């Protein structure tokens, strides 16, 4: 039996650069920064005062008011992205539709309902355990975004969640593709999100010395691969893809945007936060994705890097790319859209997968903004500061999470 081809037929996102796919893509191509002063709470006691927030998001555009008020912001964001993607793909199911049993959801998130968790603990400490919401647990757990989308859109097939830190939504897309390949579904909503901008998360990442402290220049703070980088910028958002068996998509006349051609994973097995020096773990994930896709390194036309703007990650990822791609590495455009969106943590891989698909669709590679001073340890073509036209027939995105979780995905032209 030949391997089923898994294709992308729908896209959706809500993120700091836009409330839909085309608004986001226009801003990303233009090199717009979505970073600014945090407005959700008072940061005067914190070391870091900025993040990449979403402005203007109204969950009631997608969710009934009563339901929206019962959800964590993370759930709201993924629901909106999934609704966009399903509408874009032209897919809907009635409850009694047999096809609904062949459609499912995989979501990825690093920390789930962090805002609700903090609020619940605050309520318990200040007002007592009897005042904690009966919905507290469902607002917190990471898998609930998948459950909610399944309930709302009558998706009765495989339904699961990946929680692998900043690799989570890349795992979700790869896992969803494998579910279709083995014949357990025809359609999957795949992606993820994060809504971490709250006091506890800001304090935790800051104390871990993971965040940029460039408070005098928030929009210039995320500067992947630049010699002056000093940490990542926390972001919020979600993205969703509709994955389908190719034959199923063709039969219903769907527009196909790309194929999910390769999925590779590995573990650093090294440290809870730091990547393994030299990038051997990251390189294995990229190698595995290329082998899974049946491609040679020279066939990749664009790499969307994990590119967090931390000192260790960017140098390690550069070394890993050079290990895998050899002489071809210097000629492949490599950019980090986290320079504009901030780091969506568990949602990053889904948004950056969407970037790869749009680069294939439009022949445009987005830039790495804020690139000013070259670093000798980061010596690839990072598409500095301006987007570039380029024919992209195959693109790779990398996602590396705390704990040494490495994921690479390869997308190819339809």
The pLDDT, as a whole number, for residue 2 is 74
* Domains of the chain and any CATH numbers: 6-251 (3.40.47.10), 264-412 (3.40.47.10)
pTM over cut 0.85: yes
* Residue partners of 258: CB distance under 8 A and separation at least 6: 7, 8, 356, 357, 360, 361, 411, 412, 413, 414
Per-residue pLDDT of 332-365, as tens digits, reads 999 999 999 999 999 999 999 999 999 999 999 9
How far, in Å, are 78, 153, 255 from residue 250 at the CA level? 27, 22, 8
Q: Which of 88, 161, 248, 343 is catalytic?
A: 343
pLDDT at 261 over 90: yes
CB atoms within 10 A of CB 107: 38
Contact 167, 407 (CB under 8 A): yes
Annotation says 306 is catalytic: yes
Give 38's Cβ-side CA count (13 Å radius): 24
CB atoms within 10 A of CB 66: 8
pLDDT at 275 over 90: yes
Show the tokens assigned to 335: 């950019």
Rounded-to-integer distance, Cα 372 and Cα 362, Å: 27
pLDDT at 263 over 90: yes
How far, in Å, are 14, 292, 368 from residue 50 at the CA level? 19, 39, 19
pLDDT at 21 over 90: yes
Rounded-to-integer distance, Cα 95 and Cα 98, Å: 8
Closest residue by Cα to residue 405 from 264, 211, 311, 303: 264
Place of tokens 């997608």: 62
For the segment 214-237, the average pLDDT, to the nearest whole number, is: 98
* Residue partners of 142: CB distance under 8 A and separation at least 6: 74, 107, 109, 111, 112, 113, 161, 163, 346
Per-residue pLDDT of 61-105, as tens digits, reads 999 999 999 999 999 999 999 999 999 999 999 999 999 999 999
- The DSSP symbol for 373 reads S
The DSSP bridge partners found for residue 264 are 408
The helix (H) or strand (E) run that includes residue 242 is strand 237-245
For the segment 205-213, the average pLDDT, to the nearest whole number, is: 97
The pLDDT, as a whole number, for residue 1 is 58
For the segment 234-260, the average pLDDT, to the nearest whole number, is: 98
Rounded-to-integer distance, Cα 34 and Cα 361, Å: 23
The pLDDT, as a whole number, for residue 3 is 84
Q: Which of 88, 198, 248, 306 is catalytic?
A: 306
Annotation says 378 is catalytic: no
Q: Which of 88, 161, 166, 405 is catalytic?
A: 166
Per-residue pLDDT of 102-145, as tens digits, reads 999 999 999 999 999 999 999 999 999 999 999 999 999 999 99
For the segment 310-330, the average pLDDT, to the nearest whole number, is: 97
């Amino acid at each position: 039996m030949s391997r089923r081809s898994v294709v992308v037929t729908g896209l959706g996102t809500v993120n700091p650069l836009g409330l839909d796919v085309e608004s986001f893509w226009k801003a990303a191509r233009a090199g717009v920064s979505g970073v600014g002063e945090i407005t959700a709470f008072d940061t005067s006691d914190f070391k870091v005062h900025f993040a990449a927030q979403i402005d203007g998001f109204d969950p009631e555009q997608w969710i009934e008011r009563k339901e929206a008020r019962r959800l964590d912001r993370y759930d709201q964001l993924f629901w909106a992205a999934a609704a966009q993607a399903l509408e874009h793909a032209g897919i809907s199911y009635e409850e009694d539709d047999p096809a609904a049993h062949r459609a499912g959801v995989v979501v990825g998130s690093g920390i789930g309902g962090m805002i609700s968790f903090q609020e619940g603990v605050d309520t318990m400490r200040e007002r007592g355990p009897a005042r904690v919401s009966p919905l507290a647990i469902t607002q917190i757990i990471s898998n609930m975004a998948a459950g909610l989308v399944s309930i709302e859109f009558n998706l009765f097939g495989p339904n699961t969640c990946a929680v692998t830190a900043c690799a989570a939504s890349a795992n979700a897309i790869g896992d969803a593709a494998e579910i279709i390949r083995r014949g357990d579904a025809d359609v999957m909503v795949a992606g993820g999100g994060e809504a971490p901008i709250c006091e506890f998360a800001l304090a935790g990442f800051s104390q871990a010395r993971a965040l940029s402290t460039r408070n005098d220049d928030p929009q210039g703070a995320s500067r992947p691969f630049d010699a002056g980088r000093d940490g990542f910028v926390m972001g919020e958002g979600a993205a969703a893809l509709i994955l389908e068996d190719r034959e199923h998509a063709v039969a219903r006349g769907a527009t196909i945007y790309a194929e999910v051609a390769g999925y590779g994973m590995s573990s650093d097995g090294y440290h809870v936060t730091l990547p393994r020096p030299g990038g051997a773990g990251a390189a294995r994930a990229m190698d595995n994705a290329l082998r899974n896709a049946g491609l040679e390194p020279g066939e990749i036309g664009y790499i969307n890097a994990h590119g967090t703007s931390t000192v260790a990650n960017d140098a390690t990822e550069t070394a890993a790319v050079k290990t895998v791609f050899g002489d071809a590495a210097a000629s492949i455009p490599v950019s980090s859209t986290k320079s504009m969106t901030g780091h969506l943590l568990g949602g990053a891989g889904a948004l950056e997968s969407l970037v790869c698909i749009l680069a294939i669709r439009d022949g445009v590679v987005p830039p790495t903004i804020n690139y000013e001073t070259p670093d000798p340890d980061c010596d690839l073509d990072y598409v500095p500061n301006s987007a570039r036209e380029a024919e992209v027939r195959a693109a790779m995105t990398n996602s590396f999470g705390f704990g040494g979780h490495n994921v690479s995905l390869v997308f190819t032209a339809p």
